Amino acid sequence: MYSFGSTYIVPALTGPTYLSIGLILTGYAIGIAIFSLVGGYLFDRYSVKNTVILSVLVFSAFTVMTGFVNTTPELFIARLGVGVGVGIFQPAGVALLGDIFYETRGKAVSVWATFFSVGLFASPYLIEPFLPAFRLPFEISGALAIIILMLVIMIIPVTYKKEKPTTKLNIKNVFNRNIILLSISIFFFGITLFAGYLGYFSDYLIKGLLISNGNAAIIASMAGAGGFIMAFPIGFIADKVGRKYMVIITSLLIAIGSAGMFFLFTTFAGLVVSTFIF
């Protein structure tokens, strides 16, 4: 919701003008980058349930704060806090699925991605009717967060597997060729995602191409539609033919979609198809 609404949210606030859409998004990215390491550490040392509760509590609280900010520094702090919570949450969630469903972890993680994509699909439609006002959707998200936390506390077990003896961390195992290559790949994807889609896509559509809010919401939601429709089939195929090949194919789709979104097309139909591919 914030990514789509940022083109209205940031200009509506007082404060230093250098805290632009891009710099505020950088704060969010910093939170994810630093605390993804913390999330991985907490997952390995403590129960996944407590890690998930902590992360949901953090990013939900700062998401609600997003709806109450009046200045750009306050918004920067709010988005940084959301990034902290998301950073803790992501590795814990993915590692949990990978451990429980080791042989079919492609399908398991794709279910996770499918639900995420549903949220990504719905978010532009949830905030667009309120723009240029933006507070109410974030306040509603706070109420939903309380419900989610209650469900997590009641349902997720404290331990989900037999404890395994911990092994001493070997840097050679962490920084091997395969991990370095994948890390370089995700580095460039992060640039595409944060600088392009999450950062300025709605601003580009609405103010750059002068597309109406409603049509811009449809275009932006196609990224979620693509994930919702394709995540599980791609995860299923990955379990069957090998995940390496699907990483290559999906990376190619990201590149093609990015080119269409920002370079090749300015028409509604072209942008819908390109964003779906992305």
pLDDT at 251: 85
Residue ranges, the chain, pLDDT below 50: 162-163, 165
pLDDT at 53: 82
Say what the pTM is. 0.76
The answer to whether the bond into 137 is cis (omega within 30° of 0) is no
CB contact at 8 A, 5 and 134: yes
Distance CA 34, CA 30 (A): 6
Distance in Å from the first CA to the final CA of the chain:
18
What residues pair up with 14 in beta bridges, in sequence order?
A: 71
pLDDT at 133: 81
Q: What are phi and psi of 71, to 5 degrees?
A: -130, 160
**How many helices and strands, by DSSP H and E, does the chain display?**
12, 0
- At position 1, the amino acid (one-letter code) is M
pLDDT at 163: 47
pLDDT at 165: 44
